[in-house]
Structure 1
């Protein structure tokens, strides 16, 4: 009988410990996206309860504006918390971001309705979103950098892809909960109180995520640094590298716009615009989450083999050329089958592009400000593009009377991503060198 050698046992232990570290560090991403998706999916109920206005369109726009306001806090969180994580370490910083995020989640779940406490209700919802946005500004960057520094040589794209993959699990769970509520409760019950139940589920898993985060180990790469920079030096370094941060923001524009279009906005688009059933929209969202979960590691692993640039360029060009035609085909004859086909096509864009993009963004950032620079670029893109995608899409449809108009917004974001990719990989030797060294 063959017995394993010490080297084999050591390799198995290393793989299992790295898998455990991936689960621990991405757990916070699960909570973040779980709550963000719930806010988008239940936007129609939230608009009536917290933002009553003269019309459904006005209430929905107010709700999506508050949803987007949380993203405006992300750049501030990236600067403040990102610098903190670069100074004190990945483990301590990610525990702080989780604490702030959990506070916002609990607040939104427990706020009484407008009819009960008046204007204080929307104000408290806004505060909860601002807290979530401030935390998320550095959460995603901190997790991505942790995974990049944890990765084995030549597999950085594959490792960092699990940052986004964990978010897809959250979308699947949230959509499944919504589907079950839709089966068990009447629309009136969901509108009155049922929509809060998934938010309470998010509150209930906070202690579990805290336990997972507390057991994280600091990355060897951070511990090997001679002397982490302080916050002021971190901010000065980001100013010196503002061109890289700006290009990184444009690089992220494609992925964050696609993501919020096919996940957060999909349920509202399906119900309010295409007039499909709630069940159809939720089933499509679950399928999109599963598709994203599949394509993300594929995109990351493929970029490890062929390079980041070919993946980013190819997917951006496809998105520019096909986003509007695909949505126009869907809107011409709305059906469950067409919606599923179009959203899975856009999901392919997101998974492949994002799988390569996260590793690329980590590689182009100077090591001393890696978390802050990554977080600021991602947060600016999310604030200016992704976070306002539901609001922009709603406005475009209203202004143009074209139900496929969100395709213009996605094509524009893809053009930004393509421009940034060509600029970065033409002018930045660091990006190519880092990618080859990974």
Structure 2
């Protein structure tokens, strides 16, 4: 039993390693947004420079649905293991490109174009990376523990957040601000490049899931697209569910360093400490939420925490901006982390259950990618909303809207009672 448990842990680590790299690189872009703006997108107006940087960040999310439609059917046809290796290679190309592109002052307009290409490659890969990982974990899970297993997909992202924030915090202690702005911000990106070979080696040792290997019929691409089209209401409902996850996640993690520094005028070190605390909080709550959803079902948790987000997101941020302190920011961010982690711990596994099995990777990835196109734009949307309204708590409205989307989608997908799924007391939604 101990040997089996050890092998299971190793498999989970191999599967989620690429997820770690994806979020590590994405999060670095948020931490160093102001430095990236000055390096690649210089402008006399700091707001314009930052907005263009956030729009280039968002461009990667526009590529996600394309990646989902291209790579999703490919993975559903050839297998989970081979697909996860392909996504890692594409993601690595984008990471290396961003890390080594010279500045605008050195090569002119080619600099922002190359950075944009790097973001597009990362987005194309990420369009199916998360779906591939979630499906792999759901198919390897032991009976009654699918929620717990799948939750480690999101938990691996939190480790990346903590590591990235810790690196940023240490750089702020070691280097002078001008050194960080000139070249120091690239160091964490170089670290990401050095991680790539290690992750590639451990992913190559993955075995195909038994569930996929046992199938007697593997659908071709045309059949996969036909099934996706037939089940478009399920995909659309999945988009609504994921909206709550992506918006809240990017607000409390990737946006936090910029929000704390440029909006609340706290120090960069303070904002990074809050971000590290959020990552730790998410890491703790996610597996707990996934395990609880195996016991009481997904629906109750999804409804409870979307309602909680609608009622408290804007009031919490309003309280913060009315009296800005490090302690208040920490309290508010940890509260929003609690809401996000519990919702997401039940949502991701629920999405793997509602999508038809023959298009599980493609359907999951498409729904997730379409939602992330908007959720990943939260940095630009929040920055614009604050500038347009003059209300520093305006991102709370955006999170509340996303929570309403999640609530409506949950009620739609679970609108009829059906036979409980194999996962303990979990009721499978009507699809």
- Shorter-chain TM-score tier: over 0.9
User: Any residues of structure 2 matched to 1:89-104 within 5 Å, and which?
Assistant: 89-104=79-94
Distance between the aligned counterparts of 1:221 and 1:428, measured in 2? 26
| Equivalent in the alignment of 1:220 | 210
Alignment partner of 1:282 is 2:272: yes
Gaps of 5+ in 2: 427-431
Alignment-derived partner of residue 41 in structure 1 = 31
Please list, as runs of the form range in 1=range in 2, the aligned pairs for 1:305-324 lying within 5 A after superposition. 305-324=295-314
Q: Is the 8 A contact 1:363 1:434 kept in 2?
A: no
Q: Is the 8 A contact 1:249 1:377 kept in 2?
A: yes
User: Number of matched residues?
Assistant: 426
> In the aligned structure 2, how far is the partner of 1:436 from the partner of 1:367?
19
Match of 1:17 in 2: 7
Q: What is the aligned counterpart of 1:422 among 382, 401, 411?
A: 411
Deviation at 1:434, TM superposition (A): 5.7
2:429 paired residue number: none
Is residue 2:335 matched to residue 1:362?
A: no
TM-score using structure 1 length:
0.96
- CA distances 1:250-289 after superposition (whole Å, capped 9, x unpaired): 0010011000000000000000000000110010000000
Q: Which residue of 1 aligns with 2:379?
A: 390
Q: 1:172-187 alignment to 2 at 5 Å?
A: 172-187=162-177
- Offset of 1:227 from its aligned partner? 1.6
2:221 paired with 1:231: yes
- For the 8 Å contact 1:308–1:435, the answer to whether it is kept is no
User: Within 2, Cα distance between the matches of 1:427 and 1:358?
Assistant: 20
Q: How many Å apart are 1:229 and its aligned residue?
A: 0.8
Structure 2 vs 1, CA of residues 434 and 130 (structure 1 numbering), >3 Å: closer, same or farther? Answer: farther
Q: Say if 1:420 and 1:435 are closer, same or farther in 2 by CA, change over 3 A.
A: farther
- For the residues of structure 2 that align with 1:125 and 1:159, how far apart are their CA atoms? 35
Deviation at 1:230, TM superposition (A): 1.2
Report the counterpart of residue 247 of structure 1 in structure 2: 237
User: Which digits, 9 at most, give the CA deviation of each residue in 1:36-61, with x for residues without a partner?
Assistant: 00001100000011011230000000
Measured in 2, the distance between the counterparts of 1:388 and 1:179 equals 25
Residue in structure 2 matching 1:125, options 115, 122, 130? 115
Partner of 1:377: 367
Q: Which moved more, 1:241-250 or 1:46-55?
A: 46-55
Correspondence for 1:202: 192
Q: Does 1:406 align with 2:395?
A: yes
CA distance in 1 between partners of 2:384 and 2:235 (Å): 29
Q: Is the 1:65–1:391 Cα contact (8 Å) retained in structure 2? A: yes
Taking the aligned partners of 2:226 and 2:37, their CA distance within structure 1 comes to 41
Quote how far apart the aligned CAs of 1:433 are.
3.4
Q: Alignment partner of 1:304: what SS?
A: helix
Contact preservation (8 Å) 2:143, 2:423: no
Does the Cα contact within 8 Å between 1:248 and 1:361 map onto a contact in 2? yes
CA–CA separation in structure 1 for the residues paired with 2:238 and 2:196? 31
Question: Is the 1:291–1:348 Cα contact (8 Å) retained in structure 2?
Answer: yes
Alpha carbons 1:28, 1:98 under 8 Å: kept: yes
Query: 1: distance between equivalents of 2:417 and 2:86?
Result: 33
The alignment's C-alpha RMSD in Å is 1.1
Contact (CA 8 Å) 1:364, 1:434: kept in 2 or not?
A: no
State the match for 2:284 in structure 1.
294
Cα deviation, 1:279-336, whole Å, max 9, x if unaligned, reads 1001000000000000100110010000000000000000000000000000001110
Question: After TM superposition, what 4+ stretches of structure 1 lie above 3 angstroms from structure 2?
Answer: 427-430, 432-438
Query: Is the contact made by 2:313 and 2:399 (CA closer than 8 Å) also made in structure 1?
Result: yes
Q: Is the 8 A contact 2:143 2:422 kept in 1?
A: no
Which is worse superposed, 117-126 or 230-239? 230-239
Deviation digits for residues 408-436 of structure 1 (CA, Å, limit 9, x no counterpart) = 00000000000000110014747x53655
**Partners of 2:307 and 2:407 within 8 A in 1:** yes
- Taking structure 2 as the reference length, what is the TM-score of the superposition? 0.97
8 A Cα contact 1:315 1:352, kept in partner: yes
- Match for residue 78 of structure 2? 88
- 8 Å CA contact 1:320–1:415 kept in 2: the answer is yes
Question: 1:136 corresponds to which residue?
Answer: 126
User: Where in structure 1 are there 5+ consecutive unaligned residues?
Assistant: 1-10
Question: Would the alpha carbon gap of residues 85 and 428 (structure 1) be closer, same or farther in structure 2, given more than 3 Å must change?
Answer: farther
Shift of 1:16: 1.3
Shift of the alpha carbon at 1:65?
0.2
Q: Deviations over 1:150-193 (max 9, x none)?
A: 10000000000000000000000000000000000000000000
